[in-house]
């Protein structure tokens, strides 16, 4: 990663061999080598590692996505006589001149949501229509089939909650602070405070 260039501009930094389809990127975003991203948004400061495959997803700010993750994988029509593409991509095989737009549209509508400051570990798979909460951690190799609460840590196949990063009161305080919505200058001026322990950080910025 060419960090010097990345940090000198708000423009998204896109590495080689990346394919983006109907995708919007926020400020300071970075897309790793050999990514395929379709029908997705990545908000400010979020980044992906190498070989990620992301579809039909809305990704918040400051999201950390490790290499070889799969987010929002599309389904096959398993209730039909055949699972194969030819049942909904007829034109590709010469079986007709129109694809099954209804099925393709339903599949695209199953949006996956990744909350601000979440961390998606290496090789994780997050199924379509799942929501990952703010600040959550998805362990390496996990397969996420259910929504993940904010600041939870999930691991395994299927993924299960093993602990929370902070107490309930601390989580609520962080959500009130919503530091991920601070401006660039505010974060810059307070950058050292992100090295404080959670209690000290909350004491500084929770105005309740």
Q: Give catalytic status of residue 76 as yes or no.
A: yes
The pair phi, psi for residue 181, each rounded to 5°, is -95, 0
Among the listed residues 76, 84, 85, 116, the single catalytic one is 76
Rounded distance, CA 60 to CA 36, Å?
Answer: 18
- The answer to whether 58 touches 75, Cβ cutoff 8 Å, is no
Task: Assign 103 to helix, strand or coil.
Answer: helix
- The answer to whether 90 touches 144, Cβ cutoff 8 Å, is no
Enter the DSSP assignment of 16.
Answer: S
Rounded alpha-carbon distances, angstroms, from residue 77 to 74, 81, 109: 10, 9, 15
Rounded distance, CA 40 to CA 58, Å?
Answer: 6
- Which residues are annotated as catalytic? 76
């Amino acid at each position: 990663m060419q960090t010097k260039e990345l940090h000198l501009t708000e423009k998204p930094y896109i590495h080689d061999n990346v394919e983006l389809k109907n995708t919007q990127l926020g400020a300071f975003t970075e897309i790793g080598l050999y990514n395929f991203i379709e029908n997705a948004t990545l908000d400010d400061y979020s980044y992906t590692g190498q070989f990620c495959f992301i579809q039909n997803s809305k990704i918040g700010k400051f999201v950390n996505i490790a290499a070889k993750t799969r987010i929002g994988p599309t389904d096959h029509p398993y209730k039909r006589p055949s699972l194969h593409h030819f049942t909904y991509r007829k034109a590709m095989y010469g079986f007709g001149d129109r694809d099954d737009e209804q099925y393709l549209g339903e599949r695209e509508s199953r949006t996956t949501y990744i909350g601000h400051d979440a961390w998606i570990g290496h090789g994780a798979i997050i199924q379509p229509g799942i929501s990952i909460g703010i600040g959550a951690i998805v362990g390496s190799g996990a397969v996420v089939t259910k929504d993940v609460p904010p600041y939870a840590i999930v691991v395994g196949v299927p993924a299960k909650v093993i602990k929370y990063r902070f107490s309930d009161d601390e989580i609520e305080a962080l959500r009130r602070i919503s530091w991920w919505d601070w401006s660039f200058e505010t974060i810059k001026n307070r950058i050292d405070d992100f090295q404080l322990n959670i209690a000290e950080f909350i004491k500084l910025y929770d105005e309740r």
